[in-house]
Amino acid sequence: MAGLPVPVRGVRVAFQYICCGPFARLTADFEPPGDGDEPDIVNTVPDELLPAEYLPAIRAGLLEGLDGVAARVRITDGRHHEVDSSEYGFKMAGRMAGRAALVGAGLLPPEEAEQLPKVTWPGKPALTDDRGRRPGT
């Protein structure tokens, strides 16, 4: 299993449909793996902000998004909604965060960022120029 080659910090996901539906917010830091090849995922967010019941879904999404790349992941912030949050929403948020980490680390091409409009991270490739146009158009 390959490991994440460089840190990607401050990956923020705001997953929500308009007005209702799955709601999930999380922020995570991704680091190169430690001694083992297995992903290491740690949550530092209080339970009242990110209930523990969603952690298995986040983990499953992160593993899917990282696509076999080992990394140390620290979840640093998160929010849920009493009515609209679900395991599905947090799994999707985890998947998007994992994919963003791969783009940020250079393991996926920058164009992949276009598939992650609900995710931000430092150094995210611009999807539009200062006039709102896609680069090259």
Give 41-58 pLDDT, tens digit per residue. 999 999 999 999 999 999
Arithmetic mean of pLDDT over the chain: 89
Residues 82-121: pLDDT tens digits?
A: 889 999 999 999 999 999 999 999 999 999 999 999 999 9
User: What is the identity of the amino acid at 81?
Assistant: H
73: phi then psi, degrees, rounded to nearest 5: -120, 130
128: pLDDT strictly greater than 80: no
Under DSSP, is residue 107 helix (H, G, I), strand (E, B) or coil?
Answer: coil
- DSSP state letter for 35: S
| 35 alpha-carbon distance from chain centroid | 23
Give the domains, in start order, of the chain with CATH numbers: 8-120 (3.30.230.10)
Q: What percent helix, strand, coil does the chain show, rounded to 5?
A: 30, 25, 45
Residue 49: closest CA among 66, 65, 27, 71: 27
Q: Name residue 72's beta-bridge partners.
A: 31, 40
pLDDT score of 34 = 84
- How sure is the predictor about 137, in pLDDT bands with cuts at 50, 70 and 90? very low
- Contact (Cβ atoms closer than 8 angstroms) between residue 62 and residue 95: yes
- Contact (Cβ atoms closer than 8 angstroms) between residue 103 and residue 110: yes
Q: pTM score, two decimals?
A: 0.89
